[in-house]
Each structure stands twice: as structure tokens, then as C-alpha cells.
Amino acid sequence: MIILKHLKVADVSYVSHKDVLRVLQRGLKRAKIDVKYSQGYVPHMLTYTSTPVPLGVQSEAEYFAFDCADRDKDDVMNRYNLSMPTGMRAVASFFKDKNPNLAGIVVASEYRATSSAILPKEIEDIKNCESYVISTFKKGEAVEKNIADLIYDLKVEGNTLCMRLASGNANLRADSFVGHINEKFGCNIKTNDIVRTAQLVLKDGRMTDVEEILR
């Protein structure tokens, strides 16, 4: 199993997750990478992705796993990059004997969100609240959601907000949270100003970058 860490930046950030998966699979075909297929009436490529980011949010840490006959991960990455747009190029490659199931084991993501103005330090106080309710939209309807347990860390550094938020089975959308920050504190962070910088898993009782279990 080869896992590629790839980008989803610039214009590609506006491409839906389903369409991104199609582009990834077509890229493998163009690169002539011998990907294995499922057995059954309608065979499909054995490919797996990590939890997707919301539409418009950029990412420097997306993961794409696939089962293939090739074992040279670096050669596969180089061939893959020749067939892919710049906004989706791979920046690292890993080999594992079996699928690490990143979509199932990732528990948090780190983001940076950059504003055109200095951000108020009071934003950091949110992480200390025992209860913190915001309005979010689910299937087009506004719902109230207590997000206190879904915020692991917040840090303001000038005009940049660094966030560690729940991701995976328990999830806090970065775009929804930043939308609340804009409304409450009068900030002007756009969805495309948000960048996922890392995905985290639990290892030995602590959160650690997913790459530690891939190396």
C-alpha cells in the first residue's frame, strides 16, 4: 500500500471531494501506476482518502492511499506528479503493508487562518470555556452546537489564527468555526484563507502527526 501526502491548494480547493477522487484516480491511470481493483461485479480501484476538508478550504496535508503492484514509493510519487496539476502535487510518499485507514483513525486537524488585519487575542479564551455554543448549518438548516469539547487549541499570532480542531468521527468544520469568529469578533477571514497544515492521530495517549505512524 502506497500513501501519498498531497496538496489541495489554489483553485483546486474549490473542487468537491468526489471530483478530487476522480482526478486522483485518473492521475494514477495517466501515470500508468498498476493499481489493484476490487473483485466483484463492478470492479473499482482500491483507493482510500483521509477525511476531506470543506469546499474552499486549502490543505497542505491530504493523504491518498492505494494498493498497487509497485513498491518504489518515490518513483510512484514522481510519476504521479507528472500527471497531476500543481495544486494537487504530492510532497511525500510512504509505504505500508496494509491500508492505515486514515479516515477512521484521524482525530484532529491543525489549521492556520490568515486575516488582512491583526486578530484580537480574546479569541484564545474560547478554548478555556466549559461550554461554547455556535450556530451551524446541517442539510441547509441552522442548528445549535456545543463545540467546547471539539476545540483542542487556539492561538493568535498577529494576523494568523492557529487552530487544532476535532476531525473525523467527532468533527468541527474549520469554515463554520471561522465564520463564527468573523461574526463575533468582526474579523474578515475568508474560507480560502484557511489552510489545513496537519492531521493528527492518537498515539500513546497523545496527539501526534499522522506521518509518525506512516514512516
Sign of CA dihedral 63, 48, 96, 24: negative
Cα distance between residue 203 and residue 201, in whole Å: 6
Tens of pLDDT along 67-88?
888 888 999 999 999 999 889 9
115 touches 204 (CB < 8 A): no
Domain ranges in the chain? 2-100, 105-214
- Give, in order, the Cα–Cα distances in Å from 45 to each of 42, 66, 79: 10, 8, 18
For 30, list phi and psi in degrees, rounded to 5: -65, -35
Domains 2-100 and 105-214 equal at CATH topology level? yes
Q: Which helix (H) or strand (E) holds 179?
A: helix 174-185
Give me the CATH topology for the region 105-214.
Answer: Alpha-Beta Plaits (3.30.70)
Indicate the CATH number for domain 2-100. 3.30.70
pTM: 0.91
Tens of pLDDT along 13-66?
999 999 999 999 899 899 888 888 888 788 888 899 998 999 999 999 999 999
Measured from the Cβ of residue 92, the count of other Cβ atoms closer than 10 Å reads 16
144 touches 195 (CB < 8 A): no
